[in-house]
Amino acid sequence: MKFNKIAPVLLVLSVFIFLKQASAQDGIDRKVDSVLSKMTLAEKVGQMNQYNGDWEATGPVTKAVGDKLAEIKQGKVGAVLNIMGSAHTKMFQDAAMQSRLKIPLLFGQDVIHGYRITFPIPLAEASSWNPDAIERAERIAATEASASGINWTFAPMVDIARDPRWGRVMEGAGEDPYLGSLIAAARVHGFQGRSLGSIDAVMACAKHFAAYGAAIGGRDYNSVDMSLHSLWEVYLPPFKAAAEAGAATFMNSFNDLNGTPATGNTYLQREVLKKIWNFKGFVVSDWGSIGEMIPHGYAKDNYQAAEIAVKAGNDMDMESHSYIENLEKLVNDGKVSISLIDESIRRILRKKFEMGLFDDPYRFINPAREKSLLNLPASQTEARSMAQKSIVLLKNSNQLLPLSKDLKTVAVIGPLAKAKKEQKGFWSLDIEPNEDITSVIEALKKTAPKTQFVFQKGCNIDDQSRAGFADAVEAAKTADVVVMAMGEAPDMTGEAKSKANIHLPGVQEDLIKAVIATGKPVVVLLMAGRPMIFNWTADNANAILYTWWLGSQGGNAIADVLYGAYNPSGKLPITFPRTEGQIPIYYNHLNTGRPAANDKDVFYKSAYIDLPNSPRFAFGYGLSYTTFDYIDNEPTASSARIKDNGSLQISFTLKNTGKYAGEETIQLYIRQMVSQPLRPVKELKDFKKVFLQPGESRKVTFTVSRDMLYFYNDSLQYVTQPGDFQVMIGSASDDIRLKRAFELSN
Ligand code: GLC
């Protein structure tokens, strides 16, 4: 059918869909108003109150645990958290159904990287540079959680982080706004499905709004001080992406931003989120953060804290009890307008209607579904695949890897060789039996049954004992190859886990030295939730795999990569510093007036006289068992200029020049050579993942368009500026293989 015939059909169809969605929304709004009209002020305040369950606290418990079920029956609670499983959620929903208006509860949970099956920690998943795979992982997490009574996850955490001392770096997608935005949207779509209200979907919650990852010194909960320009350029984009992806809720953050706590920050919550971004969901405080405006010194008591928070656009109070104890009085004292309360109620009730909870408060509470949908083999397979994609090959001298299954003896040494539960990392839920998790050494034995594996722990994760060194060295001497499983403890990253020293802990690097001194080939596996510092190991080990914390299937995925069943394809989503003294160090920095020409250029550069200027491993870095050539057979772009809404194409040939099939993540960076204000020396704007067989070549074409060139100017307008640009295409931010110049005209 010709386009001119199909166009009217498409037009009618799109108008019909729009009207259908609009009328559905009108229908919900009418229902919301109907419930609202029946509510007393006390019941309205109750909907703005979220309590923690009585089983586990994920924050400092602010009040003595009262009879929460009684308060729910009185209509004083709108949502709860940390209550999992059909039986527990039913108990609480039953209580809500005894309240006067029978408004159903929301059940929130930190389903950060999996529910029954634990997926790799989010920073590990980000190393896959595979938003589709990440979305599939969140789909499984949402399916399992929603089958267990949960309808709201406090995820995705989308905080940009440039400081690996910060423990919560493990929870996000690293340092880059573009990659972080793609992953934020993928996670929201994964959790919420393609539309809120389907039985296997949960509400997402973009957090922590905003700039929580920029805490000074990498110290959790610390102040954040930055220009609004940096806020908009670096820290807000993933939140904007989450809002545009339809995130049902946002969570604000513990930090103050330029002197105003995020929870009481009208600019963030009302101006940016609800006005500029037209966000229609609701904002929940972080745990106790309304009350924490008192120790911040921003409120003198909970009465004032509640007033500040509700006026600033915080709709629900998680566990500070400030709202439940003060909002009624604030309204009766004339301090807070009932219209503000009603606005929050509309936002909260709208989500409960969209989730179908008014139609059936028990729709997510179904023991049969819970039994049938958790821990499915296909889900474990997906978890293994996600874990494989999350592993980053940092070094592979003399192609030591992949290992041969014909090796006679392999020594497996290190405090994490037998790790099971540890592999789940922080923010994992303690549902899966530990025995279900395969350790590294168990996976190796399964993968290479003809090989004799000799285990020695060698040392502990974080003490000074060298008592195990001798046995470890002896084991190494008997082996053809040594695999060392080293790293942090899983609770060395996560909330309130910032570290000033991020070197490989304890005496682990001394153990690595002792084992390498035997002259045997050594593969080092590094497990952690953050970039660690391990310079001697990086210089001297034959091969290094950064495995992060890979979750339920971590051991199996590591074995798959070690033996080549999966050719590692991960790329670092965050810069690895040479030492803590370099922090903050990130790839998309400004050039300065005295840029370093190279690592040895100690004059005229913003660098150190006692350290090279470059990081240990750069953003976007990751090796493969094969090699890729970027053959620049069209040294000029399709056009040297972009004007109006035009674009240009850049093509080249990628060739697999090694002997293994493998996937390359080709990265495209842009630099604007002259601008006001300044632009970074490079910014990731696109990437393509290409899988090639050995010897195979493929033409790769990128399109560079004007929409890649927008940025916030000094007046925070989102603009482009005409001028000269450079495109850089490569295998890592510090491994550019080809460049093109072009001009943007008005
Ligand atoms: C915690 C975290 C937040 C989490 C919440 C509920 O303190 O900051 O990310 O979702 O409390 O557990």
- The model's pLDDT over 348-368, given as tens digits with 9 standing for 90+, comes to 999 999 999 999 999 999 999
Residues in CB range of 29: below 8 A, 6 or more apart? 346, 350
Residue 274 to residue 248: CA distance in whole angstroms: 12
Mutate to test the pocket of ligand 1, among 153, 187, 209, 286 (most ligand atoms within 8 A of CB): 286
Mean confidence (pLDDT) of the chain:
95
Maximum average pLDDT range among 19-33, 65-79, 444-458, 639-653: 444-458
**Shortest CA distance to 584 belongs to which of 190, 230, 72?**
230
DSSP codes joined into one string, 18-75? HHHHHHHHHHHHHHHHHHHHH--HHHHHHHTEEEE-SS--SS---S----HHHHHHTT
| Strand, coil or helix: 382 | helix
Work out whether strand 106-109 and strand 152-153 pair parallel, antiparallel, or are unpaired.
parallel
What are the φ/ψ torsions at residue 721 (nearest 5 degrees)? -125, 135
Q: Are 490 and 529 in contact (CB under 8 A)?
A: yes
- Phi/psi at 226 (5° precision): -155, 160
Choose one of 110, 220, 427 to mutate for the ligand 1 pocket test, by most ligand atoms within 8 angstroms of C-beta. Answer: 110
Confidence band of 638 (pLDDT split at 50, 70, 90) = confident
Eight-class DSSP state of 317: E
Catalogue the E-assigned strands of 197-248. 205-209
Give the mutation target among 83, 250, 495 for probing the ligand 1 site: most ligand atoms within 8 A of CB.
495
More confident residue, 164 or 640: 164
Question: What average pLDDT score do residues 49-73 get?
Answer: 78
- CA trace torsion 471, 476, 478, 479 (10° rounding): 150
User: Mean of the pLDDT values across residues 110-118?
Assistant: 98
Report which ligand 1 atom has the smallest distance to the Cα of 59.
7
CA atoms within 13 A on the CB side of 537: 27
In the numeric block, which tokens belong to residue 559? 């074995």
- The first and second tokens of residue 128, run together, are 């896959």
Kindly give the number of the ligand 1 atom that is closest to the alpha carbon of 254.
8
CA of 336 to the centre of ligand 1 (A): 27
As a whole number, mean pLDDT of residues 410-426 equals: 98
Tell me the C-alpha distance between 211 and 582, whole Å: 21
Task: Tell me, letter by letter, the H, E, C secondary structure of 462-490.
Answer: CCCCCCCHHHHHHHHHCCCEEEEEEECCH
> How far, CA to CA in Å, does 171 sit from each of 159, 180, 246, 549, 694?
8, 12, 21, 11, 36
Burial degree of 266 (CB within 10 A; 0-12, 13-18, 19+): middle
- Does the bond joining 7 to the residue before it have cis omega, within 30 degrees of 0? no
Other beta carbons within 10 Å of 66: 10
Tell me the catalytic residues. Answer: 286
Is a pLDDT exceeding 80 seen at residue 540?
yes
Q: How far apart are CA 168 and CA 162, in angstroms?
A: 11
pLDDT value at residue 732: 98
How would DSSP label each residue in 198-210?
-TT--B-EEEEET
Reported as a single tens digit per residue, the pLDDT across 493-528 is 999 999 999 999 999 999 999 999 999 999 999 999
Question: In the beta sheet, which residues pair with residue 629?
Answer: 655
pLDDT in tens, 694-718: 999 999 999 999 999 999 999 999 9
How many whole angstroms from 460 Cα to the centroid of ligand 1?
30
Fold of 383-567: Rossmann fold (3.40.50)
State which CATH number among 2.60.40.10, 1.20.810.10, 1.10.3720.10, 3.40.50.720 fits the domain covering 628-745: 2.60.40.10
Q: Which atom of ligand 1 is nearest to the CA of 108?
A: 6
How close is the Cα of 117 to the center of ligand 1, in Å? 20
> Could you tell me the two tokens for 291?
């009350």
CA–centroid distance, residue 656 to ligand 1 (Å): 45
> Rounded to whole angstroms, how far apart are CA atoms 340 and 262?
18
Minimum mean pLDDT among 277-286, 300-309, 600-609, 728-737: which range?
600-609
703 is written with which tokens? 């399109």
Taking the CA of residue 171 as reference, the ligand 1 atom at the shortest distance is 9
DSSP 80: E
H helix intervals, 355-399: 367-373, 377-390
Which pTM was predicted?
0.96
Placement of tokens 């240009």 in the chain: 648
The continuous run of DSSP H or E covering 509 comes out as helix 508-516
Token pair in block for residue 692: 């090639």
Percentage of residues of the chain with pLDDT beyond 70 = 96
Question: Lowest-confidence range among 47-61, 79-93, 571-585?
Answer: 47-61
Q: What does the chain come to in residues?
A: 746
* Nearest by Cα to 154 from 80, 244, 103: 80
Supply the residue whose CA is at minimum distance from atom 8 of ligand 1: 286
Measured in Å, residue 154 CA sits from the centre of ligand 1 at: 7
Residue 631's Cβ-side half-sphere holds a number of Cα atoms within 13 Å equal to: 11
Are the beta carbons of 450 and 576 closer than 8 angstroms? no
Choice between 599 and 129, residue whose per-residue pLDDT is larger:
129
The rounded Å distance from CA 557 to ligand 1 centre is 29
Would you say 202 and 192 are in contact if contact means Cβ atoms under 8 Å apart? yes
Ligand 1 shell residues, CB under 6 Å = 58-59, 81, 110, 154, 207, 286-287, 495
What residue ranges do the domains of the chain occupy? 1-30, 383-567, 628-745
3-state DSSP call for residue 269? Answer: helix
- Residue with the smallest CA separation from ligand 1 atom 10 is 154
What is the mean predicted confidence (pLDDT) over 75-103? 96
pLDDT of residue 126: 99
The position carrying tokens 């019941």 is: 43
Dmax of the chain from CA atoms?
A: 81
